[in-house]
Amino acid sequence: MPRKKTAENPVSPASDVSAVTQTPAPKKTRAPGSSSKAVTHKHKKAAVAAAAEVAVELAVATASFQPPTQEEIAIRAYLLAESRGFQGGSMEEDWLRAERELITARLAK
């Protein structure tokens, strides 16, 4: 049974459910001088590759441009790998570099 409110047993604001409010959690902040967007090296490579893809798509969409065929890219990528003696690097890096070089050469014409 609920207790009566009297002067002898006052109800504290903390016990009243309607009076309880939640305070927001403090915001997380970064150290002064640090970037607001922390990016690791792996993500920087992805961002650069994405920017290059956007540039290529823009060039293709805005000009009468014939993109290189897969065969042309494959030949150029093979020649890049061969020029470094097939040591280091990766197939993906060779492919992207070959594609970028072919597109750049065609846009320069």
Of 65, 73, 68, 70, the C-alpha closest to 98 is 73
Q: How many domains does the chain have?
A: 1
Cα-flanking dihedrals φ and ψ of residue 13, to 5°? -60, -30
Residue 29 within any structural domain of the chain: no
> What is the rounded CA–CA span in Å between residue 97 and residue 104?
10
Contact at 8 Å (CB) between 77 and 95? yes
In a domain, 98, yes or no: yes
Under 8 Å between Cβ of 73 and 95: yes
Name the residue range of residue 70's domain.
Answer: 39-108
Q: What is the pLDDT along the chain (109 residues), one digit of tens a residue?
A: 666 666 665 555 555 554 455 666 666 666 666 565 655 566 777 777 788 787 777 766 665 778 999 999 999 999 999 999 999 999 999 999 999 999 999 888 7
Within a domain: 12:
no
User: What separation in angstroms does the CA of 42 have from each of 33, 38, 45, 71, 89?
Assistant: 22, 12, 5, 29, 15
**Three-class SS state of 69:** coil
